[in-house]
Amino acid sequence: MKKGKNGTGAPVPLEDQLCYSIYSANMAIQRAYKPLLDGLGLTYPQYLVLNVLWVEDRRAVGAIADHLGLESSTLTPLLKRLEEAGLVRRTRNPENERQVLVELTEQGDALRTRAGCLGEALLSVSGETAPRLAALNTHVRRLRDAIYARIGGWNLSGR
């Protein structure tokens, strides 16, 4: 255990822990996004799924789960709600009946341009520049990828 500021074996204060800084920054970003996502009728996890499909439509549930670092069982109820909202369509893969494919509907695809405002919102509320946020994103991704490369658990090639 790392010694605390007082030289004892006390835990490092939260504000000095990288994991807490990343966690709390994530919470702040999601709170900044919430009014915009509410206007789109989406939750943040639904927004993430749509982002995966906006890049490459008609993906298997397992591929979407791998991309997001989720279990397929976690993703299924979320996809069901997106389908009920008319944003995606789930169908069985005719080449492999065990596989469910997810594709955007016209309504889901149309949200792409309206959702573009989230990046602008982050720039606005953070007071940062696009290049500084891009550099930070690069560093955080490298950290994430290095950790997963050592502990396993997330298919890095799935992205």
Which domains are delineated in the chain? 14-122 (1.10.10.10)
Coil, strand, or helix at residue 61? helix
Computed over every residue of the chain, the mean pLDDT equals 90
Which amino acid appears at position 73 of this protein?
S
Q: From its phi and psi, is residue 127 left (phi > 0), alpha (psi between -120 and 50) or beta?
A: left
Q: Which helix (H) or strand (E) holds 88?
A: strand 88-93
Q: What is the mean pLDDT of residues 149-158?
A: 71
What pLDDT does residue 69 have? 87
Query: Cα separation of 94 and 16, whole Å?
Result: 52
Does the reported pTM lie above 0.85?
Answer: no
The encoded tokens of residue 76 equal 């299924």
Query: Cα separation of 137 and 130, whole Å?
Result: 10
Instruction: Identify the residue with better confidence: 66 or 157.
Output: 66
Which of 7, 30, 27 is CA-nearest to residue 19? Answer: 27
Phi, psi of 115 (to 5 degrees): -80, -10
What pLDDT does residue 1 have? 46
Express each pLDDT in 99-145 by its tens digit: 999 999 999 999 998 887 788 899 999 999 999 999 999 999 999 99
